[in-house]
C-alpha cells in the first residue's frame, strides 16, 4: 500500500511537470491539446488507456486542474477502470519551478474509485504494474520516494504545503472466482495534511485509511495499510 501511495504521488509530479513543459510549446491551444498529450504519455509509459474529461493550465494563476480522469486496465484484467479520479487540483510555486524545484502550495486529490483486479492467471493488476508492497527491510526513511521523483521529473521535490485527500470506494475483482469479489466504501472526504515532504508524512492518512477500509487491503494483499510505516 505504501508503494501505491508512492505511485500516486510520482504520477502527480509527472503530470505536473509535463504540463509545465507543454505550456511553452502549446501556448495557443493549451487545454485540449495538453489533455490529449497527457493521455498519450500515460499510455506510452504504462500501457494503460487514459481518459481525461478536462485539463486546464492557468496562464494568469499557477494552477493545474484535471477533472474526470480514468485509467483503464490493460487487456487481460477485465473492462473495469483501474483508477477513477474526479479531480486533481495543483497550485504550484512558479519561482521554485524556475529553479528546478517542485514546491506545491496546495493540492486537492480525489480518488473516487480503485479497482484491484486478479486475472484468470492469478496475477493482480497492482502487483503487475510494479506496485508490490515493500518488505520490512526496505523501509528506510531516506528512501522515501524523493529520489524516484527526481529521476522521473528532473526536479527536486520540496513538498506540499497543504494536501487535501478524498478516497471513495475500493473494489476487489477476481475474474477466475467471482465469489471472492468485494467492495469497500472508504469514505474519506477532504482529509487535510500540512507540510508533506516525504511519504512518511502520509502516516496519518495511512492510519485513517486502515481504519476506514475494515481490513480490505489486508484481505487482498495479506498486508495492512500501515505496513511500511511501522
3-state secondary structure of 73: coil
Query: Are 73 and 125 a contacting pair, CB within 8 Å?
Result: yes
Give the per-residue pLDDT at 22.
46
Give the per-residue pLDDT at 57.
76
Q: Which three cell numbers stand for residue 136?
A: 520490512
Residue spans per domain, the chain: 2-213
Angle at 223 between CA 208 and CA 199, to 5 degrees: 55
Give the per-residue pLDDT at 60.
76
59 backbone dihedrals φ, ψ, rounded to 5°: -85, -35
Chain segment 81-109, per-residue pLDDT in tens: 888 999 989 898 888 878 888 889 999 99
Angle at 31 between CA 27 and CA 35, to 5 degrees: 120
Give the per-residue pLDDT at 161.
96
Q: Which of 33, 32, 36, 31 is nearest to 51 (CA)?
A: 36
Chain segment 157-198, per-residue pLDDT in tens: 888 999 999 999 999 999 999 999 999 999 999 999 999 888
DSSP E strands, 45-155: 50-57, 63-72, 81-92, 101-118
Chain segment 199-228, per-residue pLDDT in tens: 778 888 888 888 898 888 877 776 665 565
Higher pLDDT, 101 or 137: 101
User: What residues contact residue 10 under an 8 Å CB cut-off, 6+ apart?
Assistant: 145, 148, 149, 152
pTM for the whole thing? 0.78
Amino acid at each position: 500500500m505504501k508503494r501505491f501511495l508512492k505511485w500516486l504521488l510520482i504520477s502527480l509530479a509527472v503530470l505536473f511537470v509535463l504540463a509545465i513543459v507543454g505550456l511553452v510549446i502549446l501556448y495557443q491551444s493549451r487545454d485540449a491539446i495538453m489533455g490529449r498529450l497527457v493521455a498519450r504519455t500515460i499510455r506510452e509509459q504504462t500501457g494503460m488507456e487514459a481518459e481525461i474529461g478536462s485539463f486546464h493550465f492557468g496562464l494568469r494563476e499557477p494552477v493545474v486542474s484535471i477533472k474526470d480522469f480514468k485509467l483503464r486496465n490493460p487487456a487481460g484484467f477485465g473492462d473495469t477502470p483501474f483508477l477513477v479520479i474526479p479531480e486533481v487540483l495543483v497550485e504550484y510555486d512558479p519561482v521554485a519551478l524556475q529553479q528546478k524545484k517542485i514546491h506545491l502550495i496546495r493540492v486537492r486529490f480525489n480518488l473516487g474509485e480503485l479497482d484491484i483486479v486478479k486475472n484468470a492467471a492469478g496475477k493482480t493488476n497492482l502487483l503487475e504494474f510494479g506496485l508490490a508492497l515493500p518488505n520490512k527491510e526496505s523501509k528506510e526513511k531516506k528512501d522515501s520516494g524523493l529520489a524516484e521523483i527526481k529521476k522521473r521529473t528532473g526536479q527536486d521535490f520540496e513538498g506540499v504545503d497543504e494536501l487535501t485527500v478524498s478516497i471513495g470506494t475500493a473494489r476487489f475483482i477476481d475474474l477466475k472466482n467471482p465469489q471472492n469479489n468485494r467492495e469497500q466504501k472508504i469514505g474519506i472526504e477532504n482529509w487535510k495534511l500540512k507540510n508533506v515532504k516525504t511519504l512518511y508524512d502520509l502516516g496519518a492518512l495511512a492510519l485513517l485509511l486502515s481504519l476506514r477500509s475494515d481490513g480490505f487491503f489486508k484481505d487482498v494483499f495479506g498486508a495492512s495499510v500501515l505496513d511500511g510505516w511501522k
